[in-house]
Structures are given as C-alpha cells and as structure tokens.
Structure 1
C-alpha cells in the first residue's frame, strides 16, 4: 500500500501519507496519520465541488453544506461537504465514483473518515507534544493507521484520476500542445512534459483532474503557487473562506501562495455557478485518465522504476559540503522550527536531504538524475549525459580561431563556478563572482550575464547529447547556447511569461542558495536592464527543430532615431513608441522578430503588433517570414539620423 500511494496517488495525499513513515516518535506518527486523513478529505472536497459545478442540470441548487462553506474551515467542514455531494441524486462527472466510495455498503472506506475525525477531536489538533506512552496506547488500541489504509484503498477510483497542472500552451504544426506537470506521487515539483491535446484549456497555471470525459478545473479550491521559504512551486489547499479574502495552506510551507485567488472566484462556485467540464482529450484520442492508467500499470507492475535510493557516497563530497554550508547560512531557522524540522547541521547529506528533498529518502529517477548533475563526479555525469557540461570559448577579435577554450565535465555547481571565473578573466564584469552571485542587483552587464548563465543551467535539456552548452565571449558580445528549446512561446517569453523550469530540482537548488530568483522572470529582467542601459536589444532565439536556445548580449550602444527626424524628412507622423521600433530596425539590417522588438522596446506583443501594422500601412516597414524590416530605401536615411 505504501509504495502504491507514494508513487501513484495524487501529490497531496501521497506526500501526507509519506510523512507518516518519516516520523521519529510515536506522537509524531499519530499526528501525521490524522493530518493525512484531513489532507485526503480536503482533496476529495475539492474534487466534489468541481464535479458538482460540472453537473448536467445547472438548475439543481447547491446543498447547504456548499453554500455555507465559509469561515475557518476544519476537518469536519470538508467531510460534511464530501458527504453532502456524495448523497446528491443528480448527475455530475464523478457522481458514481463518490457514491461507490462513500455510500456503497461494500466500500471499505465507508464511515472510516468519520472515525478518524472523531479520534482527531478526542485527542486534539497538535499532537507533536503528546506523551509518548499515550500516543503508543492510542496507536495500539485505536489502530488509526489501519483505518487510514482502508480509506486510501477504498477511494482508489477517485485517486486514479490524474492530477495535473497546465503550465503553458503551445501550437506546433497546427496542433495544440500543453506543457504540463503530472502531479501523481509524492514528488512536489516533477519535470514538465509536453503533450499534444485536442484543444486548448480555458486557463494556464491551473490544476485539473482528468476523467473519462475530459478535465475538471480544481481552481480555486486547489491552487498552484510559489512557496517562498522552500523556493518551490507547490499545491495549496483552501483553508479559510471570507468575503474579502481567501486563505490557503500548503503541506510543507508556512508562507501563503504569492498570488492567491480573489474571493469572487470561489464564492461564485459555492453559490452554484456552473463550471462545465472541459471536453479535452489527448491528440491521439485517449482521455487523460486512460493515458495515466497505462503509465500507472507500468509503475505498479515494476516495469517502470519510479523510486530509488540516493547513493550519497557516490556523489562529490566536496561539493556537498560547499553547498550545505551556503544553504545553512541562507535558511530561516525560525521557520524550520515552526515546521518541526530538526537537522544535524554537521552532516551535509542530512542538510540537503531535509531541505532540498523535503526529508525524502527515496526519489524519482528524474530527481536522482538532477542530483547527480548537481553533486556528482565528472566521470559519472559524462556517462549519463554523453557529453560535456559546458564549452567555454573566448576570442579577442570578431573573427578567427578561439584564443581560449575550456571544456568542463564537472558537476553543475563546480562548472558554474569555473564558468564565472572564465567570464571574469576574459570579460571582467564588476561584481560577478561566485561569492557575489546571491546579489540580485548591479550593473546591466552583471545582471544580464548572471540571469543568462542561470537560465542556461536550469533550462538546459540534459537528455540531448547533440548540443553541448556553450558560452562564447567575443568583443562587445556574450553568446550563450544550450540544448532545450523554450517551454513557452517566444512571444510569451518576451512578454514576461514564465514556465516551470525544465529541471525543477536544479532550479530549486539554485534558488535556495540565492543564485536564482524565485519569480523565474530572468529573461524579462535581462531585457529591462539592457534597455535601460540603451544597449542593442538582446537576441533571444528558440529553435524547436534543433532543440536549442540562444541568447546574445551585444553591449554596443543603440542608435536611437527620434520621431522628429521622421517628421522633418518624410512628413510621417510617428509616435515616440513607434519611433523606437524604427530605431531598432535601423540598427538591424537583417530585420527583427516580434520577440526581439518587444525586448528592445519594453512593450508587450499586442501593442507592438498594432504599431507595426500602422508602420506597414505608412509604407515604412515590411513584414516577411516572421521578420520585420525597415524599407530598403529608408536604410540610407536611417544612417543619417542623429
């Protein structure tokens, strides 16, 4: 049962269940059993609300347990609502599954949550300080773990519904794709995967559960948010409902989500406003549930190894010590104490396991791969990825052979330190050093190189053996290339859109020690500082065909063409904002993409498109093959501009 829950149940339940087996005392064990029962009920409540909102007959009034779902919510509130919706005689997507789990006489889960709620009320809510003898007696006489096991086994049909986050939409060759995080198993932030779907979802950055009919939106009962103190994205569960504010709780963090939903989002649902199921399937015709069951079967039968022990002794001990030392200096010990986390600070492995892995002793193959990249030895890393980590090149002239070149095979943390040393040696930048990388402010050169370098590390596709990440230093220009096309469109990238890191554990490791920012808006910041320094706009290219990503930072000043110039010479009425576009194109004979113009002007894509259409209408620019050009006969005129 333990293996099945940890590897195949929805993330909130799997994580809470795993906490039971990570406890160090009988009192903690009893506490985590009852906490898991409540988390399970809260999750089921979110499913019940979403399913009722998608009912076939929208005229059916919501039950009182739903309309009165207000105030500080406790275990009993969530259970009452689950029971109320399970008992309704109206068709909704999960009606049969709830009825089988909680009303059917043969269900082993029937009445068990009520028993655990009664026990919770009898013994109190914070059991970590409970006398060990008393806790042992309760565990032996009441046997709450067996009761909980009957619950999780009895609600299996509901827990087989795949929980996933729709992170971003993409369109490729006229087919809709989503970047999603499949949140099944206790891993809090899995690696994103791209899947082709039949249609676009109504929302991005939202949690859904897949069914045989499509996908149910779980927002705003469950939300996906940034846990600042853990430097991780995670699921938050509703905790308090008020007219003016909604309060959420995470399973592991004490900080609220960075962008909580507005109360109206939930209050409308509680009043019975229908939210139809989104009739979307995979592009091959399978439902999300069918596809997950195929993967689930491989996991259960052992054909896919999902959980592995970390071979800490095989990792580079020097890197482990270096990282844990920085991590300890950055951590808020008060928050750790509030969470009841105790750590042996003299043991770097224990520090990293507790903080970076949330106390897990076993990890997924994806996490193990990222841990090896972060802390492993060079020989093992090269065996795994089949190439070097970084190729560093420097040239004193714009053409010719490289004057200096280094190929790095060390782990990511060691390679990052060597890359910084290489850059500062051949292109000195004030403030750029490993010791100073935690500083988020500085010169345009420092910020741009820092963000581009971290982007190269956390978004690189380490499964691609064709492309070695490169850092090229030439006069006036720093170029970084790596395997891994952007997970969001180029348009969204330059509009400030963010996506989950391709390597979430690597990203989290760097965020925890302050080397990467929590918001994940690095490229937007690069464009901002470069623009403020009046530099030529960064060139950002994402190549789906060759799975590559490239950013060029040209430090030469940008020649600005004033709007008065165009008025005097051509009689054209050009706004100052549109004049910026003409100025950019005047400095780019080869033309510029929409994303590059957005980057150079600091304007969103919608406004840039409108201005470019106006400039096309005035016969000042052309648009061909996704690139904007200044009219050929205006190139000489542009060179005359002051």
Structure 2
C-alpha cells in the first residue's frame, strides 16, 4: 500500500518522513484530516420525492446526507444510497449467461457522480457539490467549471482536468470509464433508455457546472403517430433529431450529437438531410429550428391526443366540436378547464419542451384581462405557481 501511495504521489518523502499530499488526504485521509484541509462538505446528497416543478426550496427533503469523509468513502456511501432506491430488473447476458441486475441508469449515474467527485474545485471552500434526486430528474451541481466546451466534452479525447491525481486514481482502480469518455457514456446510456438528452450547463463566468438527467421519453406516442404523417423516410437518428427540434425552440449540432451521434460531421449530415426534406430550417452553420408550419401541425396533434385519446394524427373526426380551441389563448383556457396547471405543465400539454416566450406573453395577457388567475397571487415567482380559470370564464355547471 505504501509503495502504491509513493508511486502515484499520494505521499512524499520529506526529511526522512512520509507525508501525505493534498490529493492523498482528499482521496484516502481520515475524516478529521479531510475537514482540516476542506472546511466544507465534499457532497450534499438530497432525495426529494416530488416533481422538480412542484418543489420549493422551503420544502423539506425526504432523505439527506452531507458527506464529509474522504472521496472514496463518499463514493461508497453515495452508491449505497443510490442502490436502495434504484430499480433492479433481473436479466441474463445471452453470451455468458451471467446475471445482470444493475439498474438501467447505473452507467449514467455512476459517471455523473464520479464526474462530480473528481472534477470539482476543492479550492472553493464556500460552495459544496450537490446531488438532488427528484422523481422526474436528477441534478448534479459542481463548484468549478469544465475546462473544455460542451461540444468538446462529447469528443472521445482526453481533456485538461482540474485534479489530475484524483482523476487518475479513480481510473486506475476501475471506477470510471477510460479518459475522455465519461460524459459520452452518460449521453449514450440515457439515449439507450429512450430518454431526452441530458442537459449540460458549463458556466465559466460563475465557475460552476451542472448536469441534469431528465426521466422523460424522447419519443412519445403522439410523436410516433406524428412521424407517420410526415411522409418522409427517416433513419432512427434523423427521426430523433426531428423530435428534438419539435420539442425545443432551436437545436444545435451539439444537441444532435447528444442523441448518440459520434462526430460533428455526422450530426451536420443529419441536419442537412432534414433541411433537404424541409423538416428543418438553418439559422446558422450550427443552429437550426423546425419550420413554424410543422411545429403548428405537431402542436395540433398533441392537442388531439389530449382531447381525443388515440385519435390518429391527420385523420378528421366525424364531427368537430364548435368549441374546438384554435388560437394559443383559447388552447390555454381549454387546458385550464380541467384543473389548475403550472407553466411547464401547460407547455408540455401543448407539445413544447420548454416554456416559450409566446406562452409567457399569452399568460400575462390572460392575467391582465382577468380571464385566468394565479393560485398563489402573493408569490407570483413561486415554483409552485399555477394558473386557473377566473370565475367569469368557468363554464356553468349543469
């Protein structure tokens, strides 16, 4: 053990004494020495059993543990907590007949958590890394930005790292993928699960990094039916890129690569094909958007799904109700007839991935005209804010 620590510079010889290096203490040191070196926790773990949009920071978490041990003990404790709540489907490898009961999202969680532990800025004594597990997503937040750009993080090459000794220790022990592939492994695992690509925010100005794993299907039943009405032969990769374009205001080549596409050149070829099919519009060499007409067709298809169940997109119902909403304000009012909804819930019901500026304006206009009202009027910016029909807009009860 001593030779291992000497070989990898986790202890050094000075004046006939063996002294631990900073990396050695953070990796293997006793908790009391870790706290002397790092006067803040290594990690703040929180499990919050609610949807992200319904959560408020004032609400209490359901499980919390603040890790102040060394990095390896922190990793072991984190995995123990994750395994208690993760799904463990039983399967056999057809080639080896060996049992495999790893959680489906284990690769993504492992790489994201290790990324959090080995790349954070341990010189930042004021902010601590955190993992927040909601029912619909997991958010990994780190003090310290990545030196590479978001596009470069998807490249299978080694990058400059903040803590090289810590990084090497994890890789030599086999706890992390080979150099330069961690973020790619996260995106690949998430895409194999059929989910929307992870969200990366590498904020160099604030020196922070955030990775969000959203547990949402990339291709919904509505989207599957809508694809059949387009009349264009698309590969699975092209169809997924189109799906992403319809869910977001605009997409980039990096977004397309987040769908499991290896290179920027391959992502560009996919975008070019969709442009040639008039299913995508170019905003620049790297930015694209779905045509407005196609987006409106998809929004209508999503609304048909809400109102008609499994109605086939493109088919005309035998009789159109006179109250069928057409404009965005009418569609919002129609959705609020059933129950109060938050902005994100309204946006998803309209077939949009994010709350658009147009939807924000529509809600402001409806509030100003007193056609809708807030459920929390005294806290207009609350995460729990929802909107409901004003009394004057409610249909009379029979």
| 2:31–2:70 CA contact under 8 A, matched in 1 | yes
| 1:426–1:473 CA contact under 8 A, matched in 2 | no
- Does residue 416 of structure 1 match 2:75? yes
Q: Find the counterpart in structure 2 of residue 600 from structure 1.
A: 259
Partner Cα distance (1:511, 1:474) in 2: 29
Partner Cα distance (2:217, 2:41) in 1: 35
- The alpha-carbon distance between structure 1 residues 567 and 415, as it changes in their structure 2 partners (threshold 3 A), is closer
Q: Find the counterpart in structure 2 of residue 325 from structure 1.
A: none
Q: CA deviation at 1:497?
A: 3.2
| 1:481–1:548 CA contact under 8 A, matched in 2 | yes
Partner Cα distance (1:377, 1:625) in 2: 52
Q: CA deviation at 1:352?
A: 3.6
**Correspondence for 1:465 among 125, 142, 147:** 125
Partner Cα distance (1:602, 1:444) in 2: 21
What SS does structure 2 have at the residue aligned with 1:462? coil
**Correspondence for 2:134 among 471, 474, 481:** 474
Q: Find the counterpart in structure 1 of residue 242 from structure 2.
A: 582
**Correspondence for 1:540 among 192, 200, 203:** 200
| 1:562–1:579 CA contact under 8 A, matched in 2 | no
Correspondence 1:396-415 to 2 at 5 A: 396-398=49-51, 399-400=54-55, 401=59, 402-415=61-74
**Correspondence for 2:115 among 455, 459, 462:** 455
**Correspondence for 2:8 among 356, 359, 373:** 356
Correspondence 1:147-186 to 2 at 5 A: none
TM-score, normalised on structure 2?
Answer: 0.60
Partner Cα distance (2:171, 2:114) in 1: 10
Partner Cα distance (1:615, 1:483) in 2: 39
| More displaced 10-residue stretch of structure 1: 388-397 or 531-540 | 531-540
- The alpha-carbon distance between structure 1 residues 359 and 373, as it changes in their structure 2 partners (threshold 3 A), is closer
Q: How many residues align?
A: 282
Map Cα deviations across residues 285-324 of structure 1 (whole Å, 9 max, x no partner): xxxxxxxxxxxxxxxxxxxxxxxxxxxxxxxxxxxxxxxx
Partner Cα distance (2:14, 2:188) in 1: 41
- The alpha-carbon distance between structure 1 residues 362 and 598, as it changes in their structure 2 partners (threshold 3 A), is farther
- The alpha-carbon distance between structure 1 residues 440 and 577, as it changes in their structure 2 partners (threshold 3 A), is same
- The alpha-carbon distance between structure 1 residues 521 and 442, as it changes in their structure 2 partners (threshold 3 A), is farther
Partner Cα distance (1:563, 1:476) in 2: 22
**Correspondence for 1:612 among 271, 276, 292:** 271
Partner Cα distance (2:23, 2:159) in 1: 18
What SS does structure 2 have at the residue aligned with 1:405? strand
- The alpha-carbon distance between structure 1 residues 450 and 634, as it changes in their structure 2 partners (threshold 3 A), is same
Q: RMSD in angstroms over aligned alpha carbons?
A: 3.7
**Correspondence for 2:219 among 556, 559, 565:** 559
| 1:391–1:470 CA contact under 8 A, matched in 2 | yes
Q: CA deviation at 1:469?
A: 0.8
Q: CA deviation at 1:534?
A: 1.5
| 2:67–2:74 CA contact under 8 A, matched in 1 | yes
TM-score, normalised on structure 1?
Answer: 0.39
- The alpha-carbon distance between structure 1 residues 384 and 498, as it changes in their structure 2 partners (threshold 3 A), is same
- Between the two structures, name the one with larger relative contact order (CA 8 Å, sep ≥ 6): 2
Partner Cα distance (2:49, 2:152) in 1: 35
Partner Cα distance (1:369, 1:358) in 2: 8
| 2:10–2:23 CA contact under 8 A, matched in 1 | no
- The alpha-carbon distance between structure 1 residues 545 and 446, as it changes in their structure 2 partners (threshold 3 A), is same
What SS does structure 1 have at the residue aligned with 2:65? strand
What SS does structure 2 have at the residue aligned with 1:361? strand
Q: CA deviation at 1:482?
A: 0.8
Q: Find the counterpart in structure 1 of residue 171 from structure 2.
A: 511
What SS does structure 2 have at the residue aligned with 1:424? helix
Q: CA deviation at 1:591?
A: 4.4
What SS does structure 2 have at the residue aligned with 1:529? helix
Q: CA deviation at 1:506?
A: 1.2
Q: Find the counterpart in structure 2 of residue 199 from structure 1.
A: none
What SS does structure 1 have at the residue aligned with 2:259? helix
Partner Cα distance (1:422, 1:628) in 2: 41
Partner Cα distance (2:38, 2:10) in 1: 26
Q: Find the counterpart in structure 2 of residue 498 from structure 1.
A: 158
Q: Find the counterpart in structure 2 of residue 263 from structure 1.
A: none
Q: CA deviation at 1:504?
A: 1.7
Gaps spanning 5+ residues in structure 2: where? 91-98, 303-312, 314-398
Map Cα deviations across residues 180-227 of structure 1 (whole Å, 9 max, x no partner): xxxxxxxxxxxxxxxxxxxxxxxxxxxxxxxxxxxxxxxxxxxxxxxx
| 1:429–1:446 CA contact under 8 A, matched in 2 | no
| 2:280–2:288 CA contact under 8 A, matched in 1 | no
Q: CA deviation at 1:464?
A: 2.2
